């Protein structure tokens, strides 16, 4: 990849030729406030928080400005500060402000921005508009859309268009009434939305949050147990419960993306219907048994049948949902017992 | 898949057939839509108007069961307009002249009459596919779940060979595997006739392979070109490509001897039963004892009644699963297994990538990982098994399946984000694209297949009495028989009942209203279902999923099997529909 050298404040940095100034800065650990930029998406240039100055040329939006050889960029300065302040205050006064009640508290881009720019409480009080009280859309069982927290960065709209190609949502209405909405402003569950949750993951604030969200205490890397795509996931664990799942951004298969099943379909693991003990059918009803009882019975019955009919009487169906190691052992066991009758439902 | 998933973006043209990726393999669906946004031409060949049709250049809406006619028709146009990749055909394939002869009669008009697809669309699609820099074919159960499933794949492969698309980036033949480890189950030898890595258990006698069914002349023709000689021991025995000769007896004898030695047991060379044969129609041909691990054949098998009856009739049934599913009800013993989140191991995805899973929580209650249960049983049978971890087992797999997995240590799998087989050495990078430069067997073989009209429902076809064709599909919000998705309330909320898809014109003709129940009757049975009125299905065709226990669509589907791969023909059944 071609490289160029530019100056960011007083730092000389090397960047990829295709990068924008914002990307180059973030890559080098230099924070420039930004809200509508997302690394997975095409730049939008809506929030204007990422403004910087290229020496000799004036102010520019850094998420859209490509790096160039030899340019010197200032990320701070009185004029920049003023522009950012205006943009940020406008967002904040229109934003629902009970941060403690928000699922995204401490993990919110707007909080980052406010902290960076420094918002004066007094000034904010004067500016504060009566909070708009728009209805929540909780029609989707997996996530809530709260227009009162939306900052109109358009990340969800672009995600739905650029990541999964569904195009379920768009900007609607004008001016102060601008909102993200489905076609004809229907509840999201009645739109063409596929419930993939990709927009929820990318929303920089609390406008799109999972229903009943609980933060995991640790994460474990795994593979989605559903279709054959084999998306990489991280299971979020709390105690001995799976409380979340997210796509593995390093996976070449799914690059962090997931579908509705792979993101939200894990209740089966901790479900009360899970089998937790061996069962033996006695007089038509299942009764609980110990492992020894169950396995001894299986062994005895298999042996009995083999004596009566020969090894061919035994057959096994393995599973497209257990591991390779287990599939391998399954056929090894059956064949070791003298039968090649082992199959699975690949054909069904 | 011959190519990696990531390859789809960047393809010049994509032909999607018998597959509904946006619902069944959603993330691959994202990739296809992404490819279209960046300029790929998309051809959808499917009897239904699947969501991808919205972004497709052409939709070839053929009548179910006429796939071969359609694919031969596309080949006809490509050859007639000389759009084939001449250099590739010349250097890397053989049998072109037979293909040319066979497809000569499949003119667009002739094919149009059989398939119902307008002749001009056939021409457009053929040109789009053949003229693109790279053409990927993506297919799924819609192609294989037919009585002529294997032949469908042959006809499709011909298109890929003809356009020089096997063995290069953004192209290839890409079957999408339905379940997360279906690929692994096959690769590990959970098939009657092969050990891990498709090493044959016995010669092909009585196993119904395609090879055996070729005419004597064709067999000779292929032997004549030296197909039978392996380039290396590994290479004879893959079944990546269809139409390879089944290895001669001595090969399977050697393989069996190898496994016998490694496992310390005598191994049988008697052909085993396939799933359909285990539940055979004639009781005396069935198995007597069944060990079912993580499967739910009572719901998934065509003609499910037969499976129930067979299970009831068996001497002893063991079910090992994470839930007491429908099949478990017929068990004598139920063994509780650990879920994917409760154990270590590997899965293999549809692009042949072996990937690690990790234990996130401990097994529920007294449940145990399947491998531990299997080992416990093996010991009770006096087998000397001493695995201390899944990694131990994997290392045995690697050793006995070197041509596929030798290079894949757990450490590498972890570090390199999975590896795609074949990966025969520790310094081998894995194989993202199969058949690059050269086919495993040296040369690509065109095989010729003819369209046979009886394909639609073997037991009599569409008649006045059974005027509709019923096809089956899966849906976005549920998965398989819902043993997993059915436990997530949100998914149930989004899709909580079966509704048979039916075209508005048929609804009108049958005088149905949206809330009506209908009775659907085939030659095998009947069921009652609600309906969904949609032009996703054309008139004359109805579609149901097999997700729900009620109505259970596989009570009425056609159990006739593909005579080559023994896959069931559940995709096409003739039915009658009545209002109730
Ligand atoms: S959940 Fe997925 S499909 Fe639905 S609006 Fe968000 S990105 Fe679009
Ligand atoms: S997340 Fe969706 S697309 Fe990916 S493997 Fe799971 S079910 Fe398949
Ligand atoms: S991040 Fe650049 S304008 Fe919003």
Where residue A194 sits, what CATH number does that domain have?
A: 3.30.70.20
pLDDT digits (tens, 9 = 90+) for B170-205: 998 898 887 889 889 989 999 888 899 988 888 754
Query: Quick one: which atom of ligand 2 is closest to the CA of A223?
Result: 5
From the list B419, B375, B423, the residue with the least C-alpha distance to B398 is: B423
Enumerate residues 6+ apart whose C-beta is below 8 A from B325: B296, B298, B299, B319, B481, B483
Enumerate residues 6+ apart whose C-beta is below 8 A from B165: B85, B134, B135, B136, B137, B171, B172
Do A339 and A292 share a domain, yes or no? yes
The residues facing B346 across adjacent strands are: B356
Please report the pLDDT score of residue A277 as a whole number: 96
Q: Which of A213, A244, A259 is the last residue of a domain?
A: A213
Burial A71-85, CB ≥16 within 10 A → b, else e: bebbbeeeebeeebb
Within 8 A of A345 by CB-CB distance, chain B residues are 179, 182, 275, 295, 297, 300
Do A111 and A208 share a domain, yes or no? no
pLDDT digits (tens, 9 = 90+) for B336-362: 999 999 999 999 999 999 999 999 999
Please report the pLDDT score of residue B302 as a whole number: 66
Query: Quick one: which atom of ligand 3 is closest to the CA of A63?
Result: 2
Q: Cα torsion at B408, B414, B417, B422 (round to 10°)?
A: 10
Please report the pLDDT score of residue B180 as a whole number: 86
Among A258, A260, A265, A266, say which to mutate for ligand 2: greatest number of ligand atoms within 8 Å of CB.
Answer: A258
- pLDDT averaged over every residue in chain A: 90
Query: What whole-number distance in Å separates Cα of residue B54 and Cα of residue B267?
Result: 53
Given an 8 Å threshold on Cβ–Cβ distance, is A265 in contact with B301? no
A198 lines ligand 1 (CB under 6 A): yes
Instruction: Nearest by CB to B288, from A281, A291, A313: name it.
Output: A313
Could you tell me if B190 and B275 are in contact, meaning their C-beta atoms sit under 8 angstroms apart? no
Q: Which of A213, A230, A253 is the last residue of a domain?
A: A213
Query: What whole-number distance in Å separates Cα of residue A169 and Cα of residue B4?
Result: 31
Query: What whole-number distance in Å separates Cα of residue A34 and Cα of residue B85?
Result: 50
pLDDT at residue B150 is higher than 80: no
- pLDDT averaged over every residue in chain B: 83
Could you tell me if A265 and B26 are in contact, meaning their C-beta atoms sit under 8 angstroms apart? no
Q: Cα torsion at A212, A217, A222, A223 (round to 10°)?
A: 10
DSSP sequence for B90-122: HHHEE-HHHHHHHHTT--HHHHHHHH---HHHH
Q: Is the dihedral of CA A148, A153, A155, A157 positive or negative?
A: positive
C-alpha dist (Å) from residue B335 to B206, B208, B366, B367:
34, 34, 10, 8
Closest A-chain CA to B6: A253
Do A91 and A139 share a domain, yes or no? no
What is the SS3 string spanning B422-469?
CCCCCCCCCCCCCCCCCECCECEECCCCCCCHHHCCCCCCCCCCCCEE
Could you tell me if B487 and A273 are in contact, meaning their C-beta atoms sit under 8 angstroms apart? yes
Burial A200-222, CB ≥16 within 10 A → b, else e: bbbbbbbbbbbeeeeebeebbbb
Q: What are the phi and psi torsion angles at A200 (to 5°)?
A: -65, -40
Do A248 and A310 share a domain, yes or no? no
Query: Quick one: which atom of ligand 1 is closest to the CA of A208?
Result: 6
- C-alpha angle B237/B239/B243, rounded to 5°? 105
Query: What whole-number distance in Å separates Cα of residue A298 and Cα of residue B332?
Result: 9
Only one residue has tokens 């209405």, namely A173
Please report the pLDDT score of residue B567 as a whole number: 38
Length of chain A in residues, anyone? 348
Q: What are the phi and psi torsion angles at A238 (to 5°)?
A: -140, 115
Within 8 A of A321 by CB-CB distance, chain B residues are 179-181, 294, 340
Q: Which of A183, A213, A243 is the last residue of a domain?
A: A213
Mean pLDDT across B127-132: 93
pLDDT at residue B230 is higher than 50: no
CATH of the domain at A79: 3.10.20.740
Given an 8 Å threshold on Cβ–Cβ distance, is B287 in contact with A315? yes
Three-state SS for A96? coil
Cα A23 to averaged position of ligand 3 atoms, centre (Å)? 11
Length of chain B in residues, anyone? 580
Given an 8 Å threshold on Cβ–Cβ distance, is A230 in contact with B335? no
Do A223 and A295 share a domain, yes or no? no
Query: What whole-number distance in Å separates Cα of residue A226 and Cα of residue A221?
Result: 15
Within 8 A of B571 by CB-CB distance, chain A residues are none
State the pairing for strand pair B499-502/B526-533: parallel
Three-state SS for A282? strand
From the list B450, B548, B539, the residue with the least C-alpha distance to B154 is: B450
A85-92: Cβ within 8 A, 24+ apart? A85/A117, A87/A47, A87/A48, A87/A49, A88/A33, A88/A49, A88/A113, A88/A114, A88/A117, A88/A119, A89/A119, A89/A123, A89/A124, A89/A127, A91/A35, A91/A47, A91/A151, A92/A119, A92/A124
Could you tell me if B67 and B111 are in contact, meaning their C-beta atoms sit under 8 angstroms apart? no
Could you tell me if B334 and B352 are in contact, meaning their C-beta atoms sit under 8 angstroms apart? no
Q: How far apart are the CA of A241 and the nearest CA of chain B, in angstroms?
A: 7
Reported as type and span, the H/E element at residue B67 is helix B67-80
Do A298 and A259 share a domain, yes or no? no
Structural domains present in chain B = 5-176 (3.40.228.10), 267-420 (3.40.50.740), 468-579 (2.40.40.20)
pLDDT digits (tens, 9 = 90+) for A182-240: 988 899 999 999 999 999 999 999 999 999 888 899 999 999 999 899 999 999 999 99
Mean pLDDT across A144-167: 92
Do A105 and A23 share a domain, yes or no? yes
Catalogue the E-assigned strands of A157-217: 169-172, 179-182, 208-210
C-alpha dist (Å) from residue B124 to B117, B226, B538:
12, 38, 21
Per-residue confidence band for B219, with pLDDT thresholds at 50, 70 and 90 = very low
Query: What whole-number distance in Å separates Cα of residue B499 and Cα of residue B490?
Result: 18
Please report the pLDDT score of residue A262 as a whole number: 94
Given an 8 Å threshold on Cβ–Cβ distance, is A316 in contact with B351? no
**Half-sphere exposure (CA, 13 Å, Cβ side) for A13?**
24
Do A206 and A111 share a domain, yes or no? no
Within 8 A of A164 by CB-CB distance, chain B residues are 26, 29-30, 33
State the pairing for strand pair B13-17/A342-343: unpaired
Please report the pLDDT score of residue B148 as a whole number: 58
pLDDT at residue B566 is higher than 70: no
Please report the pLDDT score of residue B339 as a whole number: 95
Enumerate residues 6+ apart whose C-beta is below 8 A from B557: B302, B303, B470, B472, B522, B524, B568, B570, B573
Cα B90 to averaged position of ligand 1 atoms, centre (Å)? 48
Do A266 and A232 share a domain, yes or no? yes
Do A92 and A193 share a domain, yes or no? no
Query: What whole-number distance in Å separates Cα of residue A199 and Cα of residue A164?
Result: 10
Do A146 and A39 share a domain, yes or no? no
Three-state SS for B333? strand
Query: What whole-number distance in Å separates Cα of residue A72 and Cα of residue A54?
Result: 6
Closest A-chain CA to B360: A220
Number of domains in chain A: 4
pLDDT digits (tens, 9 = 90+) for B526-565: 888 999 998 888 898 898 887 877 777 777 776 544 333 3
Do A7 and A125 share a domain, yes or no? yes
Query: What whole-number distance in Å separates Cα of residue A154 and Cα of residue A47?
Result: 10
ipTM of predicted assembly, 2 dp: 0.89
Within 8 A of B321 by CB-CB distance, chain A residues are 275
Given an 8 Å threshold on Cβ–Cβ distance, is B275 in contact with A317? yes
Please report the pLDDT score of residue B416 as a whole number: 93
Residue B438 has a CB neighbour count (10 Å cut-off) of 12
Q: What are the phi and psi torsion angles at A241 (to 5°)?
A: -120, 145
Cα A45 to averaged position of ligand 3 atoms, centre (Å)? 5
Could you tell me if B304 and B554 are in contact, meaning their C-beta atoms sit under 8 angstroms apart? yes
Reported as type and span, the H/E element at residue B60 is strand B58-60
Query: What whole-number distance in Å separates Cα of residue B41 and Cα of residue B92?
Result: 26
Q: How far is CA B421 from the centre of its chain?
A: 18
Given an 8 Å threshold on Cβ–Cβ distance, is B275 in contact with A296? no
Query: Quick one: which atom of ligand 2 is closest to the CA of B27?
Result: 3
Within 8 A of A271 by CB-CB distance, chain B residues are 323, 487
Mean pLDDT across B422-443: 83
Q: How far apart are the CA of B339 and the nearest CA of chain A, in angstroms?
A: 7
Could you tell me if B446 and B158 are in contact, meaning their C-beta atoms sit under 8 angstroms apart? yes
Q: Which domain holds residue A290?
A: 279-347
Cα A181 to averaged position of ligand 1 atoms, centre (Å)? 12
pLDDT digits (tens, 9 = 90+) for B257-309: 899 999 999 988 888 888 888 888 888 778 899 999 998 888 777 667 888 99
Please report the pLDDT score of residue B558 as a whole number: 61
pLDDT at residue B160 is higher than 60: yes
Only one residue has tokens 């269809």, namely B242
Interface test with B, best of A325, A335, A338 (most B CBs within 10 A): A325
């Amino acid at each position: 990849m071609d490289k160029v050298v530019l100056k960011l404040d007083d730092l000389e940095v090397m960047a990829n030729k295709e990068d924008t100034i914002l990307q180059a800065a973030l890559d080098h650990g230099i924070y420039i406030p930004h809200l509508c930029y997302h690394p997975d998406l095409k730049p939008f240039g809506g929030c204007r928080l990422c403004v910087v100055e290229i020496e000799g040329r004036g102010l520019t939006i850094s998420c859209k400005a490509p790096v160039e050889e030899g340019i010197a960029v200032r990320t701070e300065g009185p004029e920049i500060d003023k522009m950012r302040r205006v943009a940020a205050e406008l967002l904040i006064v229109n934003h629902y402000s009970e941060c403690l009640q928000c699922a995204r508290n401490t993990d919110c881009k707007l909080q980052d921005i406010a902290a960076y720019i420094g918002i004066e409480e007094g000034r904010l009080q004067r500016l504060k508009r009566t909070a708009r009280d728009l209805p929540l859309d909780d029609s989707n069982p997996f996530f809530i859309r709260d227009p009162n927290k939306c900052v109109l960065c358009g990340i969800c709209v672009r995600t739905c268009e650029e990541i999964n190609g569904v195009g379920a949502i768009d900007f609607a209405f004008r001016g102060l009434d601008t909102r993200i909405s489905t076609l004809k402003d229907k509840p999201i569950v009645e739109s063409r939305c596929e419930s993939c949750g990709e927009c929820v993951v990318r929303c920089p604030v609390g406008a799109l949050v999972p229903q009943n969200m609980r933060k995991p205490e640790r994460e474990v890397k795994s593979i989605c147990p559903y279709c054959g795509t084999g998306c990489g996931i991280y299971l979020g664990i709390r105690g001995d419960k799976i409380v979340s799942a997210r796509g593995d951004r390093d996976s070449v298969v799914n690059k962090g993306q997931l579908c509705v099943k792979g993101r939200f379909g894990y209740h089966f693991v901790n479900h009360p219907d899970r089998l937790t003990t061996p069962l033996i059918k006695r007089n038509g009803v299942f009764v609980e048994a110990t492992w020894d009882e169950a396995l001894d019975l299986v062994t005895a019955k298999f042996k009995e049948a083999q004596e009566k009919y020969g090894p061919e009487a035994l057959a096994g169906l393995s599973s497209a949902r257990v591991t390779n190691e287990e599939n391998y052992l399954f056929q090894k066991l059956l064949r070791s017992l003298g039968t090649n009758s082992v199959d699975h439902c690949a054909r069904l | 898949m011959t190519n990696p998933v990531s390859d789809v973006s960047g393809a010049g043209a994509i032909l999607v057939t018998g597959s509904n990726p946006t619902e069944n393999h959603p993330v691959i669906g994202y990739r296809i839509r992404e490819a279209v946004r960046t300029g790929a031409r998309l051809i959808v060949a499917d009897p239904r108007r699947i969501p991808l049709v919205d972004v497709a250049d052409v939709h070839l809406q053929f009548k179910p069961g006429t796939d071969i006619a359609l694919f031969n028709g596309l080949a006809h146009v490509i050859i007639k307009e000389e759009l084939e990749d001449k250099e590739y055909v010349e250097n890397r394939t053989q049998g072109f002249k037979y293909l040319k002869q066979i497809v000569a009669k499949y003119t667009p008009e002739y094919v149009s009459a059989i398939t119902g697809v307008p002749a001009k669309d056939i021409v457009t699609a053929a040109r789009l596919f053949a003229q693109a820099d790279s053409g990927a074919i993506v297919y799924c159960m819609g192609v294989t779940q037919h009585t002529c499933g294997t032949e469908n794949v042959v006809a499709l492969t011909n298109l890929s060979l003809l356009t020089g698309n096997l063995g290069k980036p953004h192209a290839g033949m890409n079957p999408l595997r339905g379940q997360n480890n279906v690929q692994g189950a096959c690769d590990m030898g959970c098939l009657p006739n092969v050990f891990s890595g498709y090493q044959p258990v016995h010669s092909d006698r009585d196993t119904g392979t395609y090879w055996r069914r070729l005419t004597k002349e064709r067999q000779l023709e292929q032997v004549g070109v030296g197909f039978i000689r392996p380039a290396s021991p590994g290479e004879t025995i893959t079944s990546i490509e269809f139409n390879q000769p089944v290895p001669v007896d001595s090969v399977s004898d050697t393989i069996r001897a190898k496994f016998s030695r490694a496992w310390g047991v005598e191994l049988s060379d008697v052909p085993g039963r396939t799933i359909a044969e285990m539940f055979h129609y004639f009781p005396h041909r069935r198995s007597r004892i069944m060990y079912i691990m993580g499967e739910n054949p009572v719901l998934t098998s065509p003609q499910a009644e037969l499976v129930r009856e067979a299970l009831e009739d068996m001497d002893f049934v063991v079910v090992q699963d994470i839930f007491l599913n429908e099949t478990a009800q017929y068990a004598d013993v139920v063994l509780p297994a650990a879920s994917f989140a409760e154990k270590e191991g590997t899965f293999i995805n549809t692009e042949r990538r072996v990937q690690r899973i990790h234990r996130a929580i401990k097994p529920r209650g007294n449940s145990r990982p399947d491998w531990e249960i299997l080992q416990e049983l093996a010991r009770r049978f006096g087998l000397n098994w001493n695995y201390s971890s899944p990694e131990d087992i994997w290392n045995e797999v690697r050793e006995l399946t070197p041509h596929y997995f030798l290079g894949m240590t757990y450490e590498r799998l972890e570090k390199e984000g999975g590896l795609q087989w074949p990966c025969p050495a520790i310094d081998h990078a894995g194989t993202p694209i199969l058949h690059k430069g050269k086919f495993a067997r040296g040369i690509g073989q065109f095989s010729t297949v003819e369209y046979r009209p009886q394909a639609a429902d073997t037991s009599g076809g569409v008649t006045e009495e059974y005027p509709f064709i019923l096809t089956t599909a899966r849906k976005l919000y549920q998965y398989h028989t819902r043993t997993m998705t059915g436990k997530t309330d949100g998914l149930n909320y989004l899709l909580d009942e079966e509704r048979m898809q039916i075209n508005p014109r048929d609804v009108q003709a049958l005088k149905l209203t949206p809330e009506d129940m209908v009775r659907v009757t085939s030659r095998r049975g009947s069921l009652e279902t609600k309906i969904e009125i949609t032009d996703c299905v054309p008139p004359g065709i109805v579609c149901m999923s097999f997700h729900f226990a009620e109505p259970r669509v596989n009570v009425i589907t056609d159990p006739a099997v593909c005579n080559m791969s023994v896959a069931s023909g559940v995709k096409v059944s003739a039915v009658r529909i009545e209002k109730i």
